[in-house]
């Protein structure tokens, strides 16, 4: 079973990918989306800004391959930018059909395309022509816009157009991120139907994987080939390594030290000035896995200055 790091927009930038993959367990990373539109071929610098790993043959410093994700609805534009990404070193191409953000959907990107299987088919077909057969073409979807039973028509469009694998976030767009709305069993239905039709197709399950038990339950219920971890990777930074059976859960002191070490990565990154915001973002998620996170979050929530944040974090583990 492969473990994939999810492309959480606004969160999983290259600095976070570097940090999390260094903890072990991940087999693949997918980038935040690169929006393409207006029949425009983006310049190489745009790809390098999103994925500096391209300058390292498409690998994170710890050797995990990175796949670039595209978002858009124009088949020709997706194809030409996919070709460029491959030429620059991306380990395959992923098409985003799952983003539920209103701003993205209004510009005809992400989950809104789930309403148009014919357009999905056209986009994947053009991408397949642009992406060499020895490079993976994957698609990330939700179960549908508001009806999970629509997933079968969506999957058919993707499979028949020539994609290699599919990530299914087991909720509809309308479900948002409601924990109680998770529907892993729909993935099992997709797998079963494809098997009956004699189609061998790799499916990655995504959604509500917060700990090792969730990962095992997801795989059992969904009958998936692989899993993708998103917010759970923020709540428990070495979750992938735990699922893979190569390490135990990090202690709280180790977690805080990791956040402190992260400043060394971020200071050379494009978002170095966001260090304090990122720390708060992480601690907010970590409250789910570490009781100490809530106390620390309350203590630092008003801090904005980077150096003040570093001091507060260091002091918290000296007690």
- 106 to each of 101, 113, 252, how far by Cα in Å? 9, 11, 41
Choose the catalytic residue: 99, 150, 218, 224: 99
Q: Are the C-beta atoms of 23 and 58 separated by less than 8 Å?
A: no
99 is catalytic: yes
Burial class (CB in 10 A: 0-12, 13-18, 19+), 248: exposed
Using left for φ > 0, alpha for ψ between -120 and 50, and beta otherwise, residue 131 falls in beta
- Rg of the chain on CA atoms, in Å: 19
Residue among 172, 168, 202 nearest 187 (CA): 168
Cβ neighbours, 10 Å, residue 128 = 18
Cβ neighbours, 10 Å, residue 265 = 18
- Cross-strand pairs, 166: 139, 203
Q: Are the C-beta atoms of 231 and 10 separated by less than 8 Å?
A: no
Classify 161 as helix, strand or coil: coil
Separation CA 120–CA 91 (nearest Å): 22
Active site residues: 99
């Amino acid at each position: 079973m492969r473990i994939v790091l999810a492309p959480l927009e606004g969160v999983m930038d290259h600095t976070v990918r570097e940090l999390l993959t260094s903890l072990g367990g991940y087999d693949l990373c997918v980038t935040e989306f690169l929006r393409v539109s207006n029949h425009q071929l983006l310049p190489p610098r745009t790809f390098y800004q999103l994925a500096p790993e391209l300058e390292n043959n498409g690998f994170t410093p710890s050797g995990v391959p990175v796949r670039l994700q595209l978002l858009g609805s124009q088949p020709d534009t997706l194809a030409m930018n996919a070709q460029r990404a491959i030429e620059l070193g991306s380990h395959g191409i992923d098409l985003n059909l799952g983003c539920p953000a209103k701003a993205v959907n209004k510009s005809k990107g992400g989950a809104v395309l789930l309403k148009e299987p014919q357009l999905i088919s056209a986009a994947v077909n053009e991408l397949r022509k642009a992406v060499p057969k020895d490079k993976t073409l994957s698609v990330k979807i939700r179960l549908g816009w508001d009806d999970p039973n629509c997933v079968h028509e969506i999957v058919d469009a993707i499979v028949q157009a020539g994609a290699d694998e599919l990530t299914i976030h087991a909720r509809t767009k309308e479900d948002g991120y409601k924990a109680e709305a998770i529907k892993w069993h729909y993935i099992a239905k997709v797998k079963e139907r494809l098997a009956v039709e004699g189609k061998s197709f790799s499916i990655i399950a995504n959604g509500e994987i917060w700990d090792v038990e969730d990962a095992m339950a997801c795989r059992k219920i969904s009958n998936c080939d692989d899993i993708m971890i998103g917010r759970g990777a923020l709540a428990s930074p070495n979750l992938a390594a735990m699922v893979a059976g190569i390490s135990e859960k990090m202690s709280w002191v180790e977690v805080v030290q990791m956040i402190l070490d992260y400043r060394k990565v971020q200071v050379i990154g494009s978002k170095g000035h966001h260090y304090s915001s990122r720390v708060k973002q992480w601690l907010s998620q970590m409250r789910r896995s570490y009781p100490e996170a809530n106390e620390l979050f309350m203590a630092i929530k008003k801090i904005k200055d980077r150096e003040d944040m570093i001091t507060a974090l260091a002091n918290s583990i000296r007690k």
